[in-house]
Structure 1
Amino acid sequence: MSKPITKPNSVDGWLAYIEALHPKSIAMGLERVSIVAERLGFFQHHSRPTIITIAGTNGKGSSCAMLEHIYTAAGYLVGCYTSPHLLRYQERVRVNRQEIADDALCAAFAAVEDARQEIELTYFEMGTLAAMWHFSQQALDVLVLEVGLGGRLDAVNIFDADCAIVTNIDLDHMEYLGDTREKIGLEKAGVYRPRQISICGDRAPPQSLMDYAVSIGTHLDCIQQAFEVQSDANGWHYRDASGVLKVPQLSLMGEFQKDNAASVIYAIRALQSELPVADEVIATTLPRVQLQGRFQYLHRDPDVIVDVAHNPQAAQSLFDNLTEIQKNMPNNGRLIAVFAMLADKDIHAVVQILRQKMDVWYVAEINHTRAAKLDQLLESLKLVSTNTAVHAYSTVETALLDACKTMTKNDKIVVFGSFFTVAAALDCWHQAVFSDNHILGKS
């Protein structure tokens, strides 16, 4: 008989413990997590809320934030589970936009630990079950769940969605999901359920995704078919069979965010019989939605921007956003890249997209086991024949601090490449600001 463990008594203790539970950080498959979920018996004390699941290569976090804000503004009790986090694990588990308390998170981990017994669970699986246990203790009206990886075999997918959105499909996590959009699309389509609301916000969805919807007997509602968006000078219009909704400009930058918002609006309208929401609430709430790490300004005049872009599609969106803001930049203003990525991402493709946009690169390593080494990052810059200046650093923090010291008032710093890159930058920035350390150049 195995010796009972002494359970951690802090969030940091629990996170260190669950990180060591499984030999792999990612283990695809639903059998283990389903057994533990059954033992936990979710939603025994309260009725099951309406569940909305969000999958996709990019835009999942933005879509979750939009749904969370709108349903909270409409007066519902809303649970939201997202990943990864930037600064605190508690960011992943929220009720009405409030992060889970430390004692509640510890209680949730303890409940999952008691239930798992002999079963090994990954970090993400433990976290997903803990979040669901916490949500099941409350009388939620709606629950928004972000898929961690793929869809079909992700731990989130053990919960049947009343409404599932696939935001878009592009090449990422190819070692797990496949090396084509068709293969990846089929994995992401796994979140759809027969006869439930199934939405796709990709303007050119893979045939595999559409075929899967047909095979399980669900009607797939796609952007540019079931609903569409059209921009104008003062904002944009959303249109579906129920009518037109005019929405002011979003705080979230990028044309692709309007596609995310359109999928969200369609979902909300499709769920009206269960969760009525007035169009006015949607139109007034969407422009106020912001999300940390998504083309986020840490400082203005001079500008310091952080963006979690970590795959080719996200890099193209970052390119488009930078092109837009360059229209108002002085001719002598530079775009300064603070750049670090994980080794298992398509570094070459990201650099290829952004190489001509950046005037100088501050390249660094992330403090993570999956981090790309400096040599790998520098080689990618060399291969795309960029003629810009490149500086190498052992950490994101030192790269950012040096970039800030050399920037002029007309320059813009852009920190990008990974959630971990942005997390390091945010932590560094907050420490510098709170200690009254003026780190920006004065030229």
Structure 2
Amino acid sequence: MKKNLDQWLAFLESNHPTEIDMGLERVQTVAQRLNLLKPAPLTLLVAGTNGKGSTVTMCSSILNVTGMNVGSYMSPHLHVYNERVRINGQPVADELIIESFEKIDEARAEISLTYFEVGTLSALYIFKKAKVDAAVLEIGLGGRLDAVNIVEPNGAAVTSIGLDHQDWLGSDINSIAYEKAGVYRAFQPAICGERNPPSRLIEHAKSLDANLLIKGRDFDFKRTGDKWSWQGVAADGQALNFVDLTLPALPIENACTALQLLIQVCPMLTLDEINLGLQNAQLGGRLQQFAYPYSGILDVGHNPQAAKLLNEHLVSQPIKGKRYALLAMLKDKDALAVAQSMPGIDKWYLAGLDGYRGQTCHELGNKVSGVIEVSGKYETVADGLDGLKDIITNQDQVIVFGSFLTVAAAQQWLDTLGAQLQSNAEVEG
């Protein structure tokens, strides 16, 4: 009997003995059987500890403004699997994903693949079938041995480098930098959004004769009020400047990196195309603002580096009142370091997360109590958002962050509240 999408996803989750199985041989073999190693004429890879999703989204949006059909692949999703695979910003239909799963299952024959490996092949299959002009692909874990790295890109970016996935990538920053630099290719643009990157990234790029461009050395940005300027390197090696750029809704650090990658592979980009692409670029859960029932921001940041960037954004956007944090994190994340990275918070509230990697608000509180003063604890994110309605004023702001699961729960709460508001208005009308 033909499986629906949920049945396929359940099958894929249980079909391989391990969730992560580093190495490219198995997935590359299946990709070759399906001719997927070049999913689009223009193919870009984006790796990094933080900022990958924002960079993919802004690259895709700007390319789409130029008239290209653009496929983008990111993970994880917030609500439905389809969010991972988009064409021109829109999630693809169940039927197309199911078709790709069926073709991959047939082509793999005796080869066992992980959930993520099948998902990657699925995205490549869909982009090839749709004949997109460009494919912008996020690296899920590391770079060198990640399934996405089987493709032949025209350029690649490493957005940032921090201590993450140390069980798989190494225990020190140089080892992790080397793994992420594995997305670079010989003689191709190799963009690094990390200022003063570890030496092994630089050495690896040089060994490939890749065209390495580093933020702070070769390209950079400057914000002035509600505008920003960008200085970088054109495809012909000449210095290039853009002024009066539109501030993106997504982090400007990632916009800077995205722009340097695009300028290298699409030298004819205009200022108008860049501005419109940045205006159009939206990604749920990344500095996502909401205004009802109170002012707030949702952010999926779940490590110290992401928290630092979030804090910098808050500092750049002063408010009249206080900032309240509602923090909920998975138990395998460094909650203490995240809390230390957020001095811009005035009052802290904690919430629990369900699932095998989740933790209660009390467990989270035990980890952060030495760094922050906790004003309240809630069993769930929804409980916390409900509780804060009675606490904050119209001059305050709530920052909800710590995990994709945290943001997903908050979005669901906001959607439910909005639906109730609309229903009440219809009744009164």
Partner of 2:400: 415
Q: 2:260 matched to 1:270?
A: no
Q: 2:19 matched to 1:25?
A: yes
1:369 paired residue among 346, 353, 356 = 356
Which of 188-197 and 401-410 deviates more? 401-410
Partner of 1:156: 148
Q: CA deviation at 1:151?
A: 0.5
* Structure 2 alignment gaps of length 5 or more: 233-237, 424-429
Q: CA deviation at 1:24?
A: 2.4
Q: 2:328 matched to 1:340?
A: yes
**Aligned AA (1:290):** Q
Q: CA deviation at 1:402?
A: 2.2
**Aligned AA (2:106):** D
Partner of 1:434: 419
**Aligned AA (1:269):** I
* TM-score normalised by L of structure 1: 0.88
Q: Distance in 2 between matches of 1:18 and 1:247?
A: 47
Which of 212-221 and 346-355 deviates more? 346-355
Partner of 1:95: 87
Aligned identity (percent) is 38
Q: CA deviation at 1:397?
A: 2.2
Cα pair 1:250 1:288 within 8 Å, conserved: no
Partner of 2:427: none
Q: Distance in 2 between matches of 1:281 and 1:70?
A: 6
Cα pair 1:229 1:239 within 8 Å, conserved: yes
1:230-264 deviations in Å (ceiling 9; x for gaps)? 222351211233421114342325xxx33322222
Q: CA deviation at 1:221?
A: 1.2
Cα pair 2:73 2:137 within 8 Å, conserved: yes
**Aligned AA (2:389):** C
1:70 paired residue among 62, 80, 83 = 62
1:374-427 deviations in Å (ceiling 9; x for gaps)? 44311112232x33413131x222222222344332332211001111011111
Change beyond 3 A, Cα 1:233–1:356: closer
Q: Distance in 2 between matches of 1:192 and 1:426?
A: 36
Within 5 A, what are the aligned runs for 1:252-401?
252=249, 257-272=251-266, 276-299=268-291, 302-325=294-317, 327-330=318-321, 334-354=322-342, 357-361=345-349, 363-384=350-371, 386-393=372-379, 395-401=380-386
Q: Distance in 1 between matches of 2:316 and 2:224?
A: 16
Q: CA deviation at 1:356?
A: 6.6
Q: Distance in 2 between matches of 1:244 and 1:338?
A: 40
2:106 paired residue among 105, 111, 114 = 114
Q: Distance in 2 between matches of 1:321 and 1:32?
A: 42
Q: Distance in 2 between matches of 1:399 and 1:258?
A: 30
Cα pair 1:248 1:287 within 8 Å, conserved: no
Change beyond 3 A, Cα 1:272–1:381: closer
Q: Distance in 2 between matches of 1:187 and 1:356?
A: 33
What secondary structure does 2:369 align onto?
helix
Q: CA deviation at 1:82?
A: 0.9
**Aligned AA (2:243):** K
Cα pair 1:56 1:169 within 8 Å, conserved: yes
**Aligned AA (1:345):** K
Which contiguous aligned blocks of 4+ residues in structure 1 show a shift greater than 6 angstroms?
Answer: none
Change beyond 3 A, Cα 1:122–1:246: same
Change beyond 3 A, Cα 1:420–1:101: same
**Aligned AA (2:323):** L
**Aligned AA (1:186):** Y
